[in-house]
Structures are given as C-alpha cells and as structure tokens.
Structure 1
Amino acid sequence: MFCNQCEQTAKGMGCSVSGVCGKKPDVAALQDLLLHAVKGLSLYAHEGRRVGVADPEVNRFTVEAMFSTLTNVNFDPTRFQAYINRCVELTVQLKEKVAAAGGSINFSDPSAGFKPAPDLAGLVKQGEEVGLVTNHEADPDIQSLQQITVYGLKGVGAYADHAAILGQEDDKVYAFVHEAMAALTQKELTLNDWVGIALKCGEINLRVMEILDAGNTGTYGHPVPTEVPLGHKKGKCILISGHDLKDLEELLKQTEGKGIYIYTHGEMLPTHGYPELKKYKHFYGHFGTAWQNQKKEFAQFPGSILMTTNCIQEPQKVYAENIFTTGNVGWPGAKHVKNGDFGPVIEKALALPGFESDEDKGSVMVGFGRNAVLGVADKVIDAVKSGAIKHFFLVGGCDGARPSRSYYAEFVEKTPQDSIVLTLACGKFKFFDKKLGDIGGIPRLLDIGQCNDAYSAIQIAVALANAFKCGVNDLPLSMIISWYEQKAVAILLTLLHLGIKGIRLGPSLPAFITPNVLDVLVKNFDIKPITTPDQDLAAILNKA
C-alpha cells in the first residue's frame, strides 16, 4: 500500500505497511480501486453532459464514493466491494445512454473498460496493481497537483453528500468532479493546467459549502449563541459524533419521551446552537473532545454511540459492541444503521447503565455563525475603530494526535487581550474550553461551527472587508490553519481560489506537495509553515 493523504502519514512521507489511521493494506488497495473505477465512470459522465446526458444516480454515487475514501471514514472491505461493483454497473448503464445520445464511448484509458474481479481477494489484487489514481508516468510536480486535486475532490464529495441529504444540489458541482477525475486520463495537460484545475476545485468547494450552509440553516435555522454543558445528567444516554445534522434530528425525534439524554461528541458540538435542534429538551450536553481521542472517551461512555461521519481508529471490542454507524461510515463487524431507523441504537442505550449521577464540568459557548456575528457587526466595527479590537485570528481546522498540535492551544492562550479568536472545525478541541474573557461584551473566543461551516467564516471575513472598504488581505486578520484530512485540503483550495494570502499552515506541510509546487504556493499566496506561537505572533503583530 501507499497512502499519503493525511497530515499524520508515516515519517511525513507516506504509509506503506499499514495506515497510521488504522487503515489496513487491503482497504487501501480497495480504496485505490474504487477511485480507479470512479475515474472510468467520470469519463462517460463528462462526455454525457456534452450530449445532454446527466444521470442523478451517477451524480450522487460519485460524491458518496469519493467521500468513502476520506481518512477514517470507512475501513470495511465488504462495503468497498459493494461500492466497486455498483460503480461498474453504473458505468455500463451510463455508457449505453451516452452512446444512444451520440456521444463518444471510445476511451483508451484502462479505467473506462475496468472489469472487477469476482471476489474480494481478486479486487484487492487489482487495487494493488492500479495504485494511486494519479498518472504514474507524469512529472512529479504534475502528480503532486493531481493528488492535491483528488484529495480536494474527496472533501468536495463529503460536503456535497451532506448537502444532498438536506435536498441541496448543484449539477455544476457534480460536473466538475467528473471533469476533474476524467482529466486524470489526459496526459497532455501541463503543470499550469493542473494549477488551474486545483484552484477550480477550490471554487467549486466554495459553491458546495454554500449549498450545504443553505441546507443546514434553511432546515434548522441560523445558529444562535448557546451555552453547552460539558458534564452529564443522571440517566440513559446516547452519544452522537460526526457531522450529519439530519441523523441528529432523526435521533432526537426517535428518542423523544424515552428517558434518554442525547450528548454530542467532536464536531457535533456546534449543533447545540441550531434552533430546530436545541428545542428538544433531552438534547443535553457535550461529552469528550474530537475523534482523535475516541478510544479513551468512548470506553468511558456508559451508553450507545452513533458515528455519522468518521470512524474511530482501530476500534476495540470493549466498546465497539456499543457503536453504530450511518451513511458510508463503517469498519468490519460494526453495526450499520439503515434507512434512518435508530431502533437498535435506542435499544442498546436502554440496556446499558447510563450515568449514575449528575456531574457539572462547566460549559462552553457555541453558535457564533455568520448570522450571529454579523448581527452585532456594528458593535464589532466600532470596537475596531476605537482600538478596543486590534486583531482577529482565525484558528481553525482539524484536530490530531501529534504532540506538536499543542501549538494551537498555546497560540490561542498567548493572543493579546485586544484580539478576537474565531475558530471552527475540530481543531478547536485543543482550546475550546479556554476562558479568554470578552471585549465590550463580545466574547474573545467565537466558535463559528463545524468544518462544514467554513462558508460562514468566509462570509464574516468578506463582510468585514466590505465594512472597512478594503480587501480581505488588508484586514487585521490572520489565518492559522491546522490540517489533518481531505476536507481541510478542499477548504485550503477555496481560500487560495479567493486569493487569501499569508495563511500559516501546520503542524506539518502535506507530504504530497513537492518542493516546486510548494514554491509556487509560497510565491503566489505567501503560505507559511507554522513555527512557534511566540515567533508567529510576533511576526503577525509586528507586521500589523
């Protein structure tokens, strides 16, 4: 196997024996094979649009399949076998439709005529043979940009899948995913071509985050500032982790009146701020931090656990028997919830002991999405003009297990008292419970939400720039980004598409970026690796 898609990849180069995330070689091979099959499907989908053929089932399958290969989402070989076989079925059907419409179906790339092996062992062997979906014969810098694009597409696939669940779709998103995957077969494309495709991925990701935001806020209302307990109540309990608001809503509906408290974990914390979710009285508090700490935290939870996006790493039997998954999440032996029926999850929760007593562990504030922040924009602007607020820091991104990620907590703690810290995504769990005080009633630590809510952060920055009649790069705003997996890659590409400069990225730079490509990013976008909190703060504030 070879996998270098996450920040914690082995030795900063790539996992070649087994994944640091717990992914085994057979799963890595099957993921590579699925992407190979999706590339073939994309050739016909891209050509199909040229002759007026666009298949909704192909669209939805494509983003779901891309999403399933994202770090820590699915480790179940049998699920990938089903994905691969379904991909080939859809390819055959689409090929016939494209031919009937007068489109070309004569593609030379092996992915176009891929035939899956009849058994799992055969599929694994095929996956080992095809390897990464990029063009292995291309210049290393072109391969690097192809990897950046594919990993960005995985993030786009995740956001598009979430949006579609809430009824929000845009064919422009699906069209680009197919176009970009098909482009991997075009050996004549240059380095500049691939720079353009990568930045286009950022543009499309902005659109998909916009429709996801519309799905979330249109269905559940705009988040409002909300205090969330970190302790627990005596009684039966279910813990829900991940990102999927629809799953949370259905769980709340099906547990209402059953004497079960619902707790969030990881990126589900911001959901407490949505009016249509917080109205449920048994939706109580938050337990634990982010998914990198699931082993320890889940073993301590006395109820059932529902995973809606990311899996735990190397699940242990002591607690795996209490865990359920939804959507395309899974690993061998896990119990999968289908068709939104959480009956088994509820039954297990009622059979488990629950919490024996109440416990108060303090609280945190959530719900500072763009609607809440822009609702007090005049107050913020006045504070900037008066000098009460001198700088904004966006400290967001992914969490992770490396000790070097302590940088982000130390950075936040050392930010000056006349600054505001905006945060989003699970990176905040290094410092989300810090008490930073306020500036004239405005909390110094404002949580914008999930990584899915990056659109909100962008809109806040744009609104501030408009208010001060300047560009975003001219604001007293610094972006300190932590990355771990492919949704972070998609968001970074979006920021680059928007022309955002001076981003500080860490804790290490992506293994899939070659020195030449990094040089392009530094020259054009002034991307910087993080150093130490003291050095970075001094550089930022001296420049400001």
Structure 2
Amino acid sequence: MLCFQCEQTRNETGCTSIGVCSKTPETAALQDLLVYACRGLARAVLHSGVSGPDRQAQVTRLQEGLFATVTNVNFDDAVLARMIQTTISERDALRRAKKGGPCSGGQDCPGAASFLLPETLEGQMALAETIGIQARRTAFGEDIVSLQELLTYGLKGMAAYAHHAAELGFHDPEVDAFMLEGLDALNDPAPSPDGLLALVMRCGEASLKTLALLDRANTISLGHPVPTRVRMGAVRGKAILVSGHDLADLRALLEQTEGTGINVYTHGEMLPAHAYPELRRFPHLAGHFGGAWMLQKREFPQFPGPIVMTTNCLMQPSPEYAERLYSRSVVGWPGIRHLATRDFSEVIAAARALPGFEADQEPVRFHWAGFGHKTVTDVAGTVVEAVKKGDIRRFLLIGGCDGAKPGRNYFTDMAEQAPKDWIILTLGCGKFRLTDLDAGEIAGLPRLLDMGQCNDSYSAIRVAQALAEAFGTDVNALPLSLVVSWYEQKAVTVLLALLHLGIRNIRLGPSLPAFVSPGVLKVLVETFNVMPVGPSAAVDLAAIEGGTLQPAA
C-alpha cells in the first residue's frame, strides 16, 4: 500500500500500512483497481463508438467509480469489489459488441481494458501492487508518476463535481469527453512527461468547465444564493442532520419532512445550502450544527437524531452514533445503513423515535452565508468605486478544505491579521476557521464574504473575472491574493482550473502535495509561481503588502 492523495498523508510522504483516513491496505488496493477498471471502461467506450444515452450511462458509471475513491468517501470493500466487477462487465460488453475492432478481441488492449478481477482478496491485492505507485515509479520514474497522479486526482475531483451536477440533471458533453480521454491516456504504455503535462493543463480547462456546469446546475435548480443569516445551533424538537455536499439530497429530505414537525440541520460543507432560495423556503431548515468534517467524531455523538452523509468527508463512525448514521450515493462504510434512493422514510422514522433536542442551544450565534458571484457582481460598481477611493485595498481569498493536521491555524491568523481595508473571501469548509471572526464592514458590505462550498469555487473565479473586466486588466494584475488550504482531490481540480486561467502566485498549504515530485514542482513554480504558505501569516501578509506577489513586468 502507498497512498498519498490527501494532504494529511502520513509523514507528508505516504500512508503505507493504514491510511490516516482509516483506509486499510485491502480498501486501498480495491480503490486502485476500481480506478484501473475505469481506465479500461473508458478505453472501451472510446473504441466502441457507443453514443447517446448509452454513452452517458457509461460516463455516469465512471464518475461514480472515481468519486468512490476520493478521500473519505467509500471504505466498504464489498461495495468496491462489486463496482469493479460491474465496471469490468460493462467494459467487456462493449468490447464484444465491437467485433473485429481495436480492443474487441484483445489486440491493442492495455491491461486495464482486458484484466479480470481475481477471485481472492490476496489475488486482488497482488494485482493492485503491479499497477500501484511503486511499480509505476520503477517502470517510469518519479516525474512521470507524479504527472499521472496529478491527472488522476484532477479527474477524480472532476468526477465528484460532475456527479453533483448530474444529480440535478445537468451534463456537459465536453466534460464527459475529456474524462474519457484523460482516463484512456493513463493506459499509455510509454507515457512522456510533455504529453502528460499537456494533459494536466487540459484537465484544468475541463475542470473549469466542470465547475461552471455545477454552478449552472445549482443556480438553475435552486436559484442564485442570497445573503442569509444562518443560525449556528439547534432549536427544541425532533431533528435530522445532513452532512456532505449533495444539495439534491437535502432538497428531497426537506420535501419529505415538510409538515412532520422534524427540523433539518446542515453540517460541514452543507452550511451554504441555507442561502439557496429553493432550500431556504422550507422553515424547518432550522440551522447549522457543528463545524468542519474532521470534528464529526466529537459532534455527531451530541446530535440526538439520525445523520445522513451524502458525499465525501465520512470518517470511521464510532459506536456512539454508528446506528444513527446513514450513507447515500457513493458513500459507504461496512455495517452502516445505506440509502440506495432518495426515499428518506427510514431516516424520518428514526428521527421520530429519537429524542431530538430538548431545548434551544445557547448561546445563540449566527453566520452570514450566500455571497455567490451574482450577489457580489450585482454590487460590482460599488466595489470598484470603493477600490478607486482606497476604501478597499485588496481582496484576500482564504479558500479550501479544513483538516485536523497542525498548522491550519495559519489560515485563522491570516484572516485575523489582515489589514482592515482588505475584503476577505472564503470558500469550502476552511470557512469554519473564520466563522467566529467579527470582521466588520467595508463600503456597506460585510468584510468577510462566505462564497459557499468548495463546490462553489466557480463563484470566486467569476468574481475575479468580473473585477478584472471592470478594471480593464487581467486577474493577475488585480489587488487579489489567493491563500488556499487543500485536503483532497476536489481541491486539486480547483487548483488546475486556476492554473488553466493563468493565475499566478497562489499560496498553497499547510503543506505541498506529496504526490508532486521535485521535478513537477519546479515546472509549477517556474510557470505559475505556486508556493507553499510561509512560516507564519505575519510573514506572508508582509510579503503581500510589499507587493512581492505582483506579476513580473
């Protein structure tokens, strides 16, 4: 086992015996084989000429397969093995249907397009070793594998975001086409660094399209987010908690609990859901409970109702709440109840049987959410005028994931120590480092603008582009600094989208990805000036104030 796809990988080099996320070597092997099977299915789809709904169904299968391997999503070996076998079956059905063509009878077929899953777990783990990181390092070298992993993780994040959009009925043929091409490119028996680097950059272009697709899906289905004051705590009554990211699941649950007297609460990355008009119209969307994902082992035992985990961010459940926990979609843990559809009747029955909150939680506090790109661009004139007058000197984006690893207090310090004439934008669950910050106002706007989930990263891109247009310049010439915390593969997708746009001087932390080799890092630094966060927020703020982040003339 060697896994280094997340930021908290052991010793910042890789988990080799058991994952920091609790992933076992067996689970790691099955996840590697599932990605391998997805590569084979992608080859079969491309060579079969399948089109229309049949092609879309296969792309959906690929999205679900890749999403299941994202950090903290699925740990259920039985489910992963079934997904591998189903993917292989679909691959072989396409190969049989294309008699006489490439990859139909074995010719021109990489191992991914022809392998069979061994019957025993020992055989599966042995096969996984032959396609794993260490074996490929021996065959291709560190830089090639680094680029392969960068492309793979970008595709995993794309799959996650595209999955969310698909759940709302939205697809983009160009996103689907690149996912197939990118996966198939990983089958190349003689990969070249230049070819892989070009694919990684094209993955950034496809990532941007994926983020735009998800933004379109969310805003057309649920309305544009509006500034909303969210209660950070519970009120008396029966309760259901929803965590993860899936807004379609939340909407279905709200519809099914309407009039039942059961309150629904968000957790983690679901906090921005309160700002969508189609969701906030439900009065029993009562508030937000808890903080970021890594606090769930402390917070879930305190919630007196059932808990639904809709997407990634699942941690190993403790016995204190395991019987009240439900998984949805691609999420899984052995022994946890799984909801195959959006029929939440079992969850509702559990909520009725459990005590709920006996009293309102005190003290009462609130958080403003809903500063998406429409809200901010609607007041772009005011913002531009405030910049021209000197009331706003800089925009500081502190976005990305939160985590338990020491050093993330850097992001809190950055917000607290930022000059009072700087606007602070936040995205992702990293916002929970800042939710208690009383940042005040500038030019009639809150100085701290919560732009949503990591899924809403397109909002920050659109705002940056709108400001650049308003000032007649490009994004790199704006008084804008990006300080990004990352944790898993969706963050890689967002980073690649930013790099595709040519955005430079991104500070990334709290540590740089272990899967980026020194050679690949050199390219990123020379091309985009990607850099690690500094030893302290004060040091980096001084550098930003001194203008060292401005692009070279």
User: Which residue is equivalent to 1:458?
Assistant: 461
Structure 2 partner of 1:184: 186
Mapped to 1, the partners of 2:437 and 2:306 lie a distance apart of 29
Question: C-alpha distance in 2, partners of 1:183/1:312?
Answer: 31
Of 177, 195, 198, which aligns to 1:196? 198
**1:292-327 deviation line (CA, Å, top 9, x unaligned):** 111001011111101001243221111111110100
Q: Aligned residue for 1:153?
A: 155
Q: CA deviation at 1:53?
A: 11
Partners of 1:52 and 1:384 in 2: CA distance: 49
Greater shift, 231-240 or 37-46, is seen at: 37-46
Pick aligned residue for 1:500 from 503, 510, 535: 503
For 1:58 and 1:521, the matched residues in 2 are separated by 34
CA distance in 2, matches of 1:354, 1:185: 52
Shift, 1:244, TM fit: 0.4
User: What is the correspondence of 1:519-538 to structure 2 with a 5 Å cutoff?
Assistant: 519-531=522-534, 532-538=536-542
Residue of structure 2 equivalent to 1:400: 403
Tell me by how many angstroms 1:347 deviates: 1.0
- Contact 1:202–1:490 under 8 Å retained in 2: yes
**Amino acid of the structure 2 residue aligned with 1:45:** V
Among the aligned pairs, what percent are the same residue?
48
Is structure 2 residue 29 aligned with structure 1 residue 29? Answer: yes
The match for 2:445 is 442
Aligned: 1:114 with 2:115: yes
Letter of the structure 1 residue corresponding to residue 433 of structure 2 = K
96 and 256 in structure 1: CA distance in 2 versus 1, 3 angstrom threshold: same
Which residue number in structure 1 is paired with residue 216 of structure 2?
214
**CA deviation after TM superposition for structure 1 residue 435, in Å:** 1.1
**Aligned counterparts of 2:117 and 2:513: Cα–Cα separation in 1:** 32
Q: Is the 8 A contact 1:134 1:146 kept in 2?
A: no
SS of 2:350's partner is: helix
Aligned 1:283-432 pairs, distance under 5 A? 283-360=285-362, 361-432=364-435
* Structure 1 SS opposite 2:304: coil
What's 2:544 paired with? 540
| C-alpha displacement of 1:483 | 0.4
Kept after mapping to 2: 8 A contact 1:45/1:54 = no
Helix, strand or coil for the counterpart of 1:536?
helix
Question: Are 2:9 and 1:9 equivalent residues in the alignment?
Answer: yes
1:187 positional shift: 3.4
Deviation at 1:108, TM superposition (A): 3.8
CA distance in 2, matches of 1:53, 1:326: 24
Query: Partner letter of residue 39 of structure 1?
Result: R
1:238-290 C-alpha deviation (Å, 9 max, x unpaired): 11011101000000011111111111000000000000100001001101011
Separation (CA, whole Å) in 2 of partners of 1:498 and 1:93? 39
Match of 2:483 among 470, 480, 484: 480
Name the CA distance, whole Å, in 2 between partners of 1:98 and 1:53.
18
Output one character per residue of 1:72-107: Cα deviation in whole Å (capped at 9) or x when no partner.
Answer: 00000011011011001110111123337x555322
Residue matched to 1:59: 59
Counterpart residue identity of residue 47, structure 1: H
Mapped to 1, the partners of 2:171 and 2:40 lie a distance apart of: 23
Comparing 105-114 and 363-372, the one that deviates more = 105-114
Paired position in structure 2 for 1:97 = 97
Cα 1:133–1:425, aligned 2, differ >3 Å: closer, same or farther? farther
Please provide the CA RMSD for this pair. 1.7
Deviation at 1:182, TM superposition (A): 1.4
For 2:527 and 2:135, the matched residues in 1 are separated by 25
Distance 2:165 2:52 in 1: 24
| 1:521 aligned partner, one-letter code | L
Gap regions ≥5 residues in structure 2:
none
Of the structure 1 ranges 106-115 and 217-226, higher mean CA displacement relative to structure 2 is found in: 106-115
CA contact (8 A) 2:133 2:145 kept: no
Aligned to 1:433: 436
TM-score (norm 2): 0.95
Contact residue 50 and residue 103 of structure 1 kept, 8 A? no
Deviations 1:366-414 (A, max 9, x none): 0000011111111111100100000000100011001200100010001
- Equivalent position of 1:130 in the other structure: 131
